[in-house]
Amino acid sequence: MRFEVTAAGLALSAALTAAGVAAPGDPPATPATPAPGARLCADPPGPVAVGMAQWNGWGRDSENTRYQPEPALRAIDVHKLALKWAFGFEGSAVAGQPSVVDGRLFVASAVGRVYALDARTGCTYWTFDAGAGVHTPITIGEYAPPKSAAPTKATGAPTPRHKTRHHHRATKRAGPRTLAHTDLLKAPSTAFFGDDTGTVYALDAQSGALRWKVRIDAHPRARILGAPTVSHGRLYVVVGSARREDAPSPTPASAAVPTHAANEGVGADSGSRGSVVALDVVSGQVLWKTVMANAAIGATAVVSAASPSAGSAPAAASPVIDPAADGAPVMAAPSIDDAHGLLYVATDSARAPDLLDKAVVALDLNDGRVRWVKRLGGAPLPGAVPDLSGFTTSPILRHLPGERHVLVVTQRSGTVFGLDPDRGGELLWTARAGEGNFGGVEWGAAADHRSVYVPLSGLTEDPLLTEGRGAVGGLVALDLKTGARRWQVAAPTPACAWGPRSCSHAEAQAATLVPGAVFSGAMDGHLRAYSTIDGKILWDYATATDFVTVNGVKASGGSLDRGGPVIVDGMLYVNSGYGERVGQPGNVLLAFAVPGK
C-alpha cells in the first residue's frame, strides 16, 4: 500500500512549503561573540570543497564504516600522538562529533552553538547560534542550485533570531584572482545539522550564513540525534525521541529564509517519534517522510505535491497514513546503499506494538517506500531496565568477497547481527559480542574489509542503577564474514580523575578505525588505541583533566561517550566531557598529532 496524496495531504504540503517569519515583537537572539582572548583566524574563510581529505558526518562515508583508510597516521606511530591544541566550549557541555572537510572543522555544542574552526590550529572562522540544543555531527554537502530559480518574494522579515558571527580579523582585499587560486574550482557547500526541536538547518559552509531551516517534526519529544546524510542532491534526516522528562520546549521559528513547519497539532503528552525524511538540499523542501510504523510497510509518505515521487500514482483505494503518526525512534544516522538504491536505518525500542521497533528497515531512496524489514529485537534481557533489545547505532554496509555484501547492526544488548542486503536482509550470522559481565553496545562499531570492532559498555542495565557497581567494558573483534570472535580484551580500570562517583569504565563511545589500529573511548575519560591484530593497547590518553585552550575558554575533559574520535590528515580530534545522564561532564575538544608531522 502507498500513501495517497489527498486534500489533507495537499494541506500538509502547503504548510511544509510555506515560509515562516517571526512576529515583529519577537526579540532577536543574543548574537554569538568570541570569548575573551579567543584565537581568531587571521584570514577570512575560503570555500570548502567536499571530497577533499575529510571525515564528513557520522561514519566518514555514507556506509557508516567509521573506517579511515588513508589517515596519514601509521599504526606504528600511534603511540607518539601528542596534544596539539584544545578548544573550549563556552557555557556548554560537549555534544555530537566533529566533522573535518577540506581543512575546516565543524562542531556543535549542547546549547546549540555551531563552530567552524581551522583544523590545523583551532582558530575560529565563524559561529552560529541555533537557538536549541544540537547533538548531531555536522554534515557538509555541495550546494547546487538550478541555473535559473524563481525569485524569492520579499517578506519584510525582521532581523533573524539566528546570528552568525565571523571571527576572522579584518584583512585587505586580495588582488584579482587567477587560475592559481585553486578555490576557484570549489563548488559552494552547505553545512547541515539538526536540533532538539526537530528542526533541520542548512548553513553556508564558508560563511556560516543561514540558507534555510525546516521543522520536520514539531512534537515536543522529537529530537534529531543522527547526522544528516547527503546523497545525489537529497538530504536524509532521521527523527528520534527524547525521554519525556528532558524533552525541550519548542522554539518559535523565525528567520528571513524559508522555514517550514509540520505536525504542529500532535499532542505533547504521548507518542514516540520516529521517522525518516528526505529534503531537497537547495531549498529544504520536504520530498517525503516515512514513519517507522507497521502501517508504513510497502507505503510511501508523499508530503510534497510539488515534487511527486517517480512511478505510477497510488490507487484511489490506498489507505492514507498520517505522516504525523507515532513511530519507532531512529537514533543514529542512516546508511546509503547506492547499488540497490536503498537507505538503511535501525530502530530503537518503542512501547506501542504497532511500531517498527527493534528492526532494520530498508527504504527506497527515491520515494521512501519500505522495501524490507528485518525484526531483530527479541525479548528484553532478564532484569534489564530499560529494554536493551533496540538499536541506537547506524547500520554498517561492507563488501565481502565475490561481489557480496554484509550489513552489520549492533544491538544495545551486545548482540551483533550480519544481514545480507542482496537478499532482502536475510540473516547471515549472529554473534554475542560480550561474555560474562561484558555486553551492551551504545553508539556503534567500526569495520574494515575483514573485521568489525565492537566497543562494549558492560551496561546491560540502566546506567543510573549500576553507578555504584562500576560497569567494566571492553573491545571485541568479529570476523566480518562469519561473526566469529577473533579476539576480545577487557578495558583497564583506572581510578577516575574526579573520584568514585559516576566512575564507569564502560567503552560506550563509538569506535574509530584506521589501518592497524582501532580507537575506543571510555566513560572514565581514557581514549585508547588497540592493535587490530590482537587487541594490544598501543596508546592511552587520559582526557579528564584541565586544559589551556586556544580560544581562552576555561575547559576540562570528562567522560567519553557518543561520537568517537575522527582522524584526518594525520590528526585526531575528539570531544571529552559527555555526562548528560551518568559520567563526568566536560567542555573540551582535543586535537592530537604526531610531533613533527
CA-to-CA distance for 484 and 487, rounded, in angstroms? 9
Taking Cα atoms as reference points, which of 367, 392, 227 lies closest to residue 289? 367
Quick one: which of 412, 429, 394 has its CA closest to 137?
394
- DSSP state, residue 58: S
For residues 277 and 240, what is the distance between their CA atoms, to the nearest angstrom? 12
Instruction: Return per-residue pLDDT of the chain as tens, 597 residues.
Output: 333 322 333 333 333 333 332 222 333 333 344 444 467 899 998 999 998 679 999 999 999 999 999 999 999 999 999 999 999 998 888 888 999 999 999 999 999 999 999 999 999 999 999 989 999 999 999 987 544 333 333 333 333 445 556 655 444 433 333 333 334 457 789 999 999 999 999 999 999 999 999 999 988 889 999 999 999 999 999 999 875 434 443 333 333 333 333 332 333 345 678 999 999 999 999 999 999 988 888 665 545 433 323 332 333 333 445 666 788 899 999 999 999 999 999 998 887 777 888 999 999 999 999 999 999 875 555 544 456 778 889 999 999 888 899 999 998 888 899 999 999 999 999 998 765 445 578 888 999 999 999 998 875 444 444 444 455 688 999 999 999 999 999 989 999 999 988 888 888 899 999 999 999 999 999 999 999 999 999 999 999 999 999 999 999 999 998 899 999 999 999 999 987 767 899 999 999 999 987
- At residue 273, the pLDDT reads 81
The pTM of the full predicted model, rounded to 2 decimals, is: 0.82
User: What is the distance between the alpha carbons of residues 425 and 553, in angstroms, rounded to a whole number?
Assistant: 48
Q: How far apart are CA 336 and CA 289, in angstroms?
A: 16
CA distance 27 to 148: 35
The pLDDT of residue 145 is: 55
**Cβ of 512: how many Cβ atoms within 10 Å?**
31
521 Cβ contact partners less than 8 Å away, ≥ 6 residues apart: 507, 508, 509, 527, 528, 543, 560, 561, 564, 565, 574
**Bridge partner list, 337:** 342
Q: Where is 487: in which H helix or E strand?
A: strand 485-490
Per DSSP bridges, beta strands 124-129 and 164-166 are: antiparallel
Q: What is the dihedral of CA 48, 192, 288, 214, to 10 degrees?
A: -130
Whether the Cβ atoms of residue 234 and residue 140 lie closer than 8 Å to each other: no
How crowded is residue 2: how many other Cβ atoms within 10 Å of its Cβ? 21
What does the pLDDT read at residue 352?
77
205: Cβ–Cβ under 8 A, 6 or more apart, which residues?
Answer: 48, 101, 104, 106, 116, 140, 188, 189, 190, 191
Strand ranges across the sheet with 512-514: 512-514, 517-521, 526-531, 537-542
Q: What is the CA radius of gyration of the chain?
A: 23
Q: Considering only CA atoms, which of 272, 273, 267 is closest in space to residue 224?
A: 273
Sheet containing 485-490, strands listed edge to edge, beginning at the edge strand earlier in sequence: 446-447, 451-456, 474-479, 485-490
DSSP code string of 205-241: TTT--EEEEEES---TTEE--SPPEEETTEEEEEEEE
| DSSP conformation letters of 507-559 | --SPPEEETTEEEEE-TTSEEEEEETTT--EEEEEE--SEE--TT---EE---
User: From CA 505, how far away is CA 496, in angstroms rounded?
Assistant: 9
Query: For strand 210-215 and strand 259-260, is the pairing parallel, antiparallel, or unpaired?
Result: parallel
Say how far apart CA 403 and CA 393 lie, in whole Å: 25
Residue with cell 563556552: 90
